Amino acid sequence: MSFLFGGKPQLSSAEKIDAALTEVEMVSDMFNRLSQSCLKKCIPADYREGDLNKGESVCLDRCVAKFFEVNVKVSEKMQGEAAMRQGGAAGAGGMFGM
Amino acid sequence: MDSLNPAEQRELSSRMEKKQMKEFMTMYSKLVQRCFDDCVNDFTTKSLISREEGCVMRCVDKYLKGSERLGSRFQEQNAAMQAGQLPGR
Amino acid sequence: MSTPASPGNGVPEAPQYQPPKAPPKQNPAFRMLGMPNFRFKLPSRNWLIFLSVTGSFAAAITYDRRQKKAAQKKWCDLVSHIAQHPLPVNQMPRKLTIFLSAPPGDGIRPSREYFKEYIKPVLVAAAMDYDVIEGRKEGDVRYGTAEQIRRLRRKKGEQTEKPDLGEIDPEQLVENIREQLKIRPEPVIRGDLIIGRHTWKEYLRGLHEGWLGPLDEPQSRREPTPPSEDASHSTSTDLPPNDASTSTTTDPPLESPAENKIPPKEAETKPPSPPYAYISTSAYSTSPASPNLPIHLEPSAPIPHRHILGFFNTPIRIYRFLTQRHLADSVGRDTAALVLGLHRPYHQDSSFASSSTGEIDALPVTTSSPETDGTTSPAATVQTAQTWEQQSLLQEEEADWHKSAKKPRKDDLERVWLDDVVIDPRIGQRMRRFELPPEEEERAKRIGQGSERSRAVEVMDLRSEPVITDESQASSGKTWWAFWEKGKD
């Protein structure tokens, strides 16, 4: 393999495709959830006309922005928790390890 | 993501096409269910009455337009978020 | 038992026997109803005083809040039909710019709350999108406004020394994607909403600086060493009284470093924030306007924001607390004017009306030439100066400002709040103001009285409609689609 050159290990092509597909899946899953939530919240079940009106459009725009913000905040918080837990575990294990 | 050579790219694009088809079918069935739930309430007759028909048409219109708008906002926000992450990495 | 009351006895007096009193005459109406013999009594004098004071205060507050809610609802109903207009998928809704700044002597939180309480409901009712330019201290809004205009000018292709930083700016990324997807803003005029006289002054200064000033920061301002004295002199040629204070504040860092804790070297490297203005007020008439200056600038809506501080002002504050309904009505009217979108040019007086000089008294304002420089002049000098409406708007707020705003600043930035407003005719003529058309005013009055309803259609919820499984459950034609069916079938 190409460990001689250092750096990241080369993934086989199947793995690379899988990684790409997983990323695309994650993004499209997020888009589906966002669609579902935002359409449910922002579009009242009136169906008087087939066009979106201004209120609904503004609501959808803001819904997307807020969804992303929530995404970021949740991931930050979870990273913080994971780091804390790892720090606790490493601190406990370090005494025996080294 | 590492760069892929042409063979891998072809494989990737064919798989993505299949996925997109599946997603499209899922979205279609969800839309049918949603519009049916909201619009169709009169079961005194076997075929759709004109009010329900109009309602279903407008419902589909509205949801497709809503999805389109959400798609464009999603693209913008995604790009902005990724750009924000890059300097941090 | 009765004992004779004779003083000579030496026996202590026993209480007199008194025959039992007859019960007070009962109200015959109560007697007929079978109710007990109950006499109405007023509470004691002290309780009466207490209850009347608290009761009247509570009643004043309750009445005021109800009227305030009714006034806000009236203005929201006037504009709520706009939220139901269709919007194509490839258009962004109309986006206003809100200019918000901390009032002199206070933080920005009161301004934010004022905006949220009085202005935001009307904007939300009409589904307006908005962008806020905030300012924490004097000069922030001026810098923000000027910088935005300069950014626009650079985008339109004017020559600038500043290197292009590429697309790190996330806003630029969003713009690029919108270009690709062909998403345009809605083709209506946008608008500027300015809250408070202090923000209004900064806005005007920033507007002039942006359109009349250079795109790059002038060299002389880069270091606050002796060249800065020239800079401070040039900005304050029209403020001799302040000149003394500015020159004394710049001199100590240079001459007596012992006085200042910061050594002069550090003072040189720290840039002033917000940065100095790129052009001074006296240089307006000689400076060329940007070639991209549009025929009409964005129409603006200045909103009054009276903010008073101080212990001895408590009675005035109590009065304002109890009369918020008038404020809600007038601010609602101004915001509805902005939302409905009709605008007119600012008025211009050719007489030397001295009403606009106001409290900024006796500051000798130097004017270069009367016809090109739109400054006001004290009533003593006879000049055909033109007074602009923009200069005298919202002026009564300056009386409310705390005295700390008039103290000299530690850094030698120009005092936008204390200076007179200087309007260059090229900018002044292009500014426009939102105004409510009279028929909308009439309609608002009728909506307030209840004789007219909002033009928005009520939204129904089809999900909560009952499911009809047999004929007996069919609706009796009360719903909106009954009319639809009558026409169709």
3-state helix/strand/coil string of A25-91? HHHHHHHHHHHHHHHHHHCCCCCCCCCCEHHHHHHHHHHHHHHHHHHHHHHHHHHHHHHHHHHHHHH
Q: Is the separation of the CB atoms in C402 and C106 below 8 Å?
A: yes
Q: Is B69 on the interface with C (CB under 8 A)?
A: yes
The pLDDT assigned to B2 comes to: 54
Are C211 and C253 contained in the same domain? Answer: no
Establish if C198 belongs to a structural domain.
yes
Establish if C24 belongs to a structural domain.
no
Residue to substitute from B63, B76, B78, interface C, most C β-carbons within 10 A: B76
d(CA A81, CA A91): 15
Average pLDDT over residues C404-418: 78
Q: A58, C457: Cβ pair inside 8 Å? A: no
Are C300 and C352 contained in the same domain? Answer: yes
Give the global pTM: 0.76
Residue-number span of the structural domain to which C75 is assigned: 53-157+168-217+293-360+367-439
Q: Is the pLDDT score of C258 beyond 70?
A: no
Q: Is the separation of the CB atoms in C86 and A53 below 8 Å?
A: yes
Say which range, A18-22, C66-70, C163-167, has the weakest mean pLDDT. Answer: C163-167
Q: Is the separation of the CB atoms in C390 and C358 below 8 Å?
A: no
Query: In b/e form, how buried is each residue of C246-279, taking b as 16+ CB within 10 angstroms?
Result: beeebeebbeeeeeeeeeeeebbeeeeebebbbb
Establish if C285 belongs to a structural domain.
no
Residue contacts between A and B (CB atoms, under 8 Å): 94
Q: What would the pLDDT profile of A57-90 be if each residue is shown by its tens digit?
A: 999 999 999 999 999 999 999 999 999 998 887 7
Establish if B22 belongs to a structural domain.
yes
Residue from the list A44, A46, A54 with its beta carbon closest to the beta carbon of C87: A54
Say which range, C1-15, C91-105, C122-136, C155-169, has the weakest mean pLDDT. Answer: C1-15
In 3D space, the residue among C37, C55, C39 whose CA is nearest the CA of residue C47 turns out to be C55
The CATH number of the domain where C177 resides is what? Answer: 3.40.50.10330
Establish if B1 belongs to a structural domain.
no
d(CA C136, CA C143): 12
The pLDDT assigned to C226 comes to: 39
Band (pLDDT 50/70/90 cuts) for residue A96 is low
Are C299 and C387 contained in the same domain? Answer: yes
User: Strands C191-195 and C95-101: what pairing?
Assistant: parallel
The CATH number of the domain where B55 resides is what? Answer: 1.10.287.810
CA separation (Å) from C419 to B32, C204, C405, C410, C450? Answer: 65, 12, 12, 17, 46
Are C99 and C240 contained in the same domain? Answer: no
Please tell me whether residue B33 adopts helix, strand or coil conformation. helix
In this prediction, the answer to ipTM > 0.85 reads no
Q: Is the separation of the CB atoms in C453 and C76 below 8 Å?
A: no
At C138, list the tokens.
């004097």
Establish if C45 belongs to a structural domain.
no
Average pLDDT over residues B12-37: 89
The residue among B70 and C242 whose pLDDT is bigger is B70
Q: Is the pLDDT score of C392 beyond 50?
A: yes
Establish if C88 belongs to a structural domain.
yes
Are C414 and C343 contained in the same domain? Answer: yes
Residue C471 distance to chain A (closest CA, Å): 24
Are C309 and C395 contained in the same domain? Answer: yes
Q: What would the pLDDT profile of A27-68 be if each residue is shown by its tens digit?
A: 999 999 999 999 999 999 888 988 999 999 999 999 999 999
Are C228 and C138 contained in the same domain? Answer: no
Residue from the list C89, C177, C467 with its beta carbon closest to the beta carbon of B69: C89
Q: What would the pLDDT profile of C282-320 be if each residue is shown by its tens digit?
A: 888 888 888 888 888 889 999 999 999 989 999 999 999
Ranges A7-11, C57-61, C249-253, C453-457, most confident: C57-61
Percent share of chain C, pLDDT over 70: 73
Number of domains observed in the structure of chain C: 2
At B29, list the tokens.
């069935």
At C88, list the tokens.
């194509």
E strands, C94-190, are 95-101, 129-135, 184-185
Establish if B38 belongs to a structural domain.
yes
Q: A54, C85: Cβ pair inside 8 Å? A: yes
Angle subtended at Cα C197 by Cα C193 and Cα C198, rounded to the nearest 5 degrees:
100
Q: Is the pLDDT score of C121 beyond 70?
A: yes
Fold of A11-97: Helix Hairpins (1.10.287)
Q: Is the pLDDT score of C178 beyond 60?
A: yes
Q: Which residues of A are less than 8 Å from C86 in CB distance?
A: 49, 51-54
At C215, list the tokens.
């795109």
Q: Is the pLDDT score of B20 beyond 50?
A: yes
The pLDDT assigned to C223 comes to: 40
Query: Residue C91: beta bridge partners?
Result: C184
Residue-number span of the structural domain to which B81 is assigned: 6-88
Are C242 and C307 contained in the same domain? Answer: no
Q: Which residues of A are less than 8 Å from C93 in CB distance?
A: 54, 57-58, 61
Percent share of chain C, pLDDT over 90: 33
The pLDDT assigned to A5 comes to: 53
Are C252 and C386 contained in the same domain? Answer: no
| Residue C319 CB-density burial (10 A; 0-12 exposed, 13-18 middle, 19+ buried) | exposed
CA separation (Å) from B36 to B27, B54, C10? Answer: 14, 12, 107
Q: Which residues of A are less than 8 Å from B8 in CB distance?
A: 13, 16-17
The pLDDT assigned to B59 comes to: 93
At B38, list the tokens.
């909201």
Number of domains observed in the structure of chain B: 1
Which residue is listed with tokens 């001199």?
A: C251
User: Strands C432-434 and C343-345: what pairing?
Assistant: antiparallel
d(CA C97, CA C299): 11
Are C198 and C95 contained in the same domain? Answer: yes
Crossing angle (nearest 10°) for helices C438-449 and C324-340: 130
The pLDDT assigned to A95 comes to: 56
Band (pLDDT 50/70/90 cuts) for residue C475 is low
